[in-house]
Structure 1
Amino acid sequence: MNKKKGKIIGITLGCIVILLGGIFLYGYYNMPLIEVHKPKPYQPSGEVILSKELNELEVKADVEQMIEIMESTHPIFLEGETEKYKEAKDRFVHETNRNMTVDEFRFSVSRYLSSIQDGHTGLSWREMKFLDINWRYLDGQLILFDDNNKSTSKIVTKINGVDIHNIINTVKELFPAENYVAESINYSIYSKSEEVLEYSGVDCTKDIVVTVMSGTSEEDIQTKLHYRDNIYPMDYEISSQKIDDNTIYVKFEICELNEDLNKVTEDLKQAIDAGIENVIIDVRDNPGGASRASNMLLDSVKIKPGHFGSIIRFSPLAQERYGYLRKSGFISYDRSNDVVRNEDINLYILTNEQTFSSAQWLATWVKDGELGTIVGRPSRNMPSSFGDVLQFQLKNSKLDGQISYKKWTRPDETKDGERVLEPDVYVDYSEDALSKTIELIKSK
């Protein structure tokens, strides 16, 4: 009797084990995004002290941690390592094989991370001082602009005697660029940064002299470094206003789900129901956020866009942050360019170089689905790109940054090779995209 009981208990336990194992395997492969433990939000463990000296062992530990985070987290490595990345990694390991200050180490880490050219992945730079001067990098040259934001004939050649090409090459090494737009923006902005200038050999302890050429004439212009809290200053406004009886304008400076967005979507719905013909959505300088916010705007004007495809990579860092069941492998979702247009309205999307991430999605949806007209300048963010970042901090240097763990593919797969979403109507720096759009509407 006892043997029979024992056998029954054994069989029962075996069945339970098999059942639990089956449930685990089913969840592992079919529900990998479920949370199996409490997510651990990012919490920095200390402040960055750039002057701090790290010994060789401390540097080595941070190098190994950075490489592990990079290679186990970023979706680009699902496709294997490129020669460019291998060279960057070898350089990273070789040049950090010594005692270094945190500041020196920061430049090495930045070069390493920028090798994959993902605008969402990089260290947190805390630039405080920039040159007080208006210039832009266009057609391979750094050109001064006037007070009306028009280009002049003055081309920057040196800063305090240092050739501008040395400074441009430093920027190219340190900051990722997904396309030619991002390269130009990086050169325009970071060539003004005190930290970049000093790293390029510019003496910033004395007055700053910018040497420019205009034809065969050379001129020295004095400028100063000034404090700037944010290189992309924004109010993050979400609002709407009627321009006239046939046109409504939406200022959409952040992709955020909030009461302002709810009010704007209601305003749009009422305008559509009242028969308004023109809808302008302005995502210039919008850094992104929740893609659902962009969806809500299109829903409110009775437009259904396509779907981005995605690859989500699982890693120890993603598991820690979100409590995922898996810490390796990936899951993918198909894209679709099936859309529902609203033939009763004319939709205009205003973009510029700083239209980024989820804001860029809005423009891509409209472009791929032929849902409206893009007006402005192209974005530094590729239409198919990486995103959804995880924050990290290196143990010894306390350097912090972020890294993508998802890859997004645009709805129209025939356009995957495009690195830039070009506008339908290009707007020069001296022109205003909103004014240009209103002129375009009136001309129709």
Structure 2
Amino acid sequence: MKKLSILMLFLLLVSCSNQSNHLNVKELKEDLNYLNEKLNEIHPDIEKIEYVSKKVDEYRSSLTEEVSENYFKVKIMEILAILEDSHTGVLIDEKTTKLPIQLLNLDSEIIIISSSSQVAKKGDKVLQISGKNINVVINELRKYISYDNEAWFQHQINFLTLDFLLESLGLLEQNKIILTVERDGEIIEYEIGFDKIEKDKEGPPYNWEIKMQNSIKIGYFKLVDSIYNQHYESTIDQFFDSVDKNNIESILIDLRFNSGGDSRVINSFLKHLNVDSYRLYNDSSVRQHNGDYSKDIYILTDSGTFSSGAMFATIMKDNGLGKIIGGPVGQNPTHFGDPLLIELPNSNIKIAISQTKFIRPATKDEKNTLLIDMPISKTAEELLNEEDRQLERALDSIVNQN
């Protein structure tokens, strides 16, 4: 079972001209017909797809004149958001530009966590965008974002840095916005425009170490990207060999930065456990493993834990194999995913459409949430200082459980 992370696709941001081409009525209607055809063909949520199809038809019938590609793109985002499916939505293309800042949504405060701008500073608390209260802007943003739980919506705050969305929200003034921020206790205002976007440097997809916390050894495995290959298999083997040699009694799997990928990474981990019975997604059969490890496992999560990363956490929780520590994941345990990619014929807008419903292993799922066993928060201050105190608090909590 493989999964393609829509988050990785949503963040393909390459700076280019933000000028938008126009599409005539015939082209628009052809694209909408194609979209409706593919939604009905691919997406498994028949009831919601029927409603969304009606919305597509209504929009098609209302078209009387040409519109810009950006306007059309945002309109499709609004329609697809009705599905409440984080894996179905419009992909950000190479023509999109963004503000040279990175935002953080933490405890209802929007903070600039990094900046390559001359005027915006790391730590600025955003109060207004072009004169509009930031909370109002966030509420207006909701109707364009595909999400199935609140944690994922909060994680998507950087959609507010994209040129075409800021334009659609009526916040652009001469291709710039005006930010009102609080900095060092003072309220200041500045203009900021769009810059080239440098691709982030990629770190290793996974790594591990034996951590010493208050004289207690803890096996720590950080899985950033769910990449399944022989190297991953051998890395997992090396990790558990070290866990065995060091007589480790607690393991911490860090999934906070895991936005998905190949779910087979989960099976490679499970085979090392000594477990009488467990279930996987969409599988009623009971499995077992006679691996060497049978002691405590903790899974560290937050809103960035998505797709197969969230599935990993859910499988561990639902089968009683580990405790969830940290914050809420960015996806409901039972969800739609495994998206297929389509491209509209005239606008060339790329769209991901879920083709599978993934049902969590738990037999009872009244609220469709992944409950946190040991909540551990993070603060803006420590993130601004690039300190991972959440991890330190997690390790301390594990030590206190022993």
- TM bracket, shorter-chain basis: 0.7 to 0.9
> Where in structure 2 are the equivalents of 1:221-370 lying within 5 Å?
223=192, 225-229=194-198, 234-244=202-212, 246-274=217-245, 275-303=247-275, 306-310=278-282, 334=284, 344-370=294-320
Give the whole-Å Cα distance in 2 for the aligned partners of 1:180 and 1:255. 23
Q: 1:98 to 1:145 in 2, by over 3 A?
A: closer
Gaps of 5+ in 2: 2-16, 115-121, 383-387
Give the whole-Å Cα distance in 1 for the aligned partners of 2:19 and 2:193. 23
Give the whole-Å Cα distance in 2 for the aligned partners of 1:427 and 1:220. 31
**Which residue among 390, 400, 419 is the counterpart of 2:350?**
400
TM-score, length-normalised on structure 1?
A: 0.71
| Contact in 2 for aligned 1:131/1:194 (Cα 8 Å) | no
Is 1:414 paired with 2:382? no
TM-score, length-normalised on structure 2?
A: 0.78
Deviation at 1:204, TM superposition (A): 4.8
| Contact in 1 for aligned 2:43/2:49 (Cα 8 Å) | no
Q: 1:392 to 1:356 in 2, by over 3 A?
A: same
**Which residue among 140, 147, 157 is the counterpart of 1:177?**
147
Structure 1 letter corresponding to 2:178: V
Is 1:116 paired with 2:87? no
| Contact in 2 for aligned 1:134/1:145 (Cα 8 Å) | yes
Structure 2 letter corresponding to 1:261: Y
Q: 1:133 to 1:146 in 2, by over 3 A?
A: closer
Q: 1:88 to 1:285 in 2, by over 3 A?
A: farther
Deviation at 1:370, TM superposition (A): 2.0
CA RMSD of aligned residues (A): 3.5
Aligned to 1:11: none
Structure 1 letter corresponding to 2:251: V
Between stretches 405-414 and 194-203, larger displacement belongs to 194-203
Aligned to 1:435: 392
Is 1:75 paired with 2:25? no
Is 1:54 paired with 2:23? yes
Structure 2 letter corresponding to 1:442: V
Deviation at 1:110, TM superposition (A): 1.4
Aligned to 1:38: none
Deviation at 1:268, TM superposition (A): 2.9
**Which residue among 69, 78, 85 is the counterpart of 1:102?**
69
| Contact in 1 for aligned 2:338/2:356 (Cα 8 Å) | yes
Deviation at 1:179, TM superposition (A): 0.9
Structure 1 letter corresponding to 2:242: A
Give the whole-Å Cα distance in 2 for the aligned partners of 1:54 and 1:145. 36
> Where in structure 2 are the equivalents of 1:17-166 lying within 5 Å?
51-77=20-46, 79=47, 85=52, 88-126=55-93, 127-132=96-101, 134-136=103-105, 138-139=107-108, 142-144=109-111, 156-165=126-135
Aligned to 1:379: 329
Structure 2 letter corresponding to 1:54: L
Deviation at 1:252, TM superposition (A): 0.9
Q: 3-state SS of the aligned residue for 1:75? A: coil
Give the whole-Å Cα distance in 2 for the aligned partners of 1:164 and 1:49. 24
**Which residue among 170, 173, 176 is the counterpart of 1:201?**
170
Q: 3-state SS of the aligned residue for 2:321? A: coil
Q: 3-state SS of the aligned residue for 1:414? A: coil
**CA displacement 1:141-193 (0-9 Å, x = unmatched):** x443689xxx99x864421224435532442122111111122222x222232
| Contact in 2 for aligned 1:335/1:410 (Cα 8 Å) | no
Give the whole-Å Cα distance in 1 for the aligned partners of 2:164 and 2:79. 18
| Contact in 1 for aligned 2:112/2:125 (Cα 8 Å) | no
| Contact in 2 for aligned 1:285/1:354 (Cα 8 Å) | yes
**CA displacement 1:286-340 (0-9 Å, x = unmatched):** 1211111112112224347733443xxxxxxxxxxxxxxxxxxxxxx54769898
Gaps of 5+ in 1: 1-32, 34-47, 311-332
Aligned residue pairs: how many? 365
Q: 1:117 to 1:70 in 2, by over 3 A?
A: same
Deviation at 1:255, TM superposition (A): 1.2
Structure 1 letter corresponding to 2:223: F
Give the whole-Å Cα distance in 1 for the aligned partners of 2:82 and 2:296. 41
Deviation at 1:259, TM superposition (A): 3.5
Give the whole-Å Cα distance in 2 for the aligned partners of 1:304 and 1:123. 43
Q: Percent identity, please.
A: 22
**CA displacement 1:116-135 (0-9 Å, x = unmatched):** 01111111113432252644
Give the whole-Å Cα distance in 1 for the aligned partners of 2:142 and 2:48. 24
Structure 1 letter corresponding to 2:296: N
| Contact in 2 for aligned 1:353/1:380 (Cα 8 Å) | yes
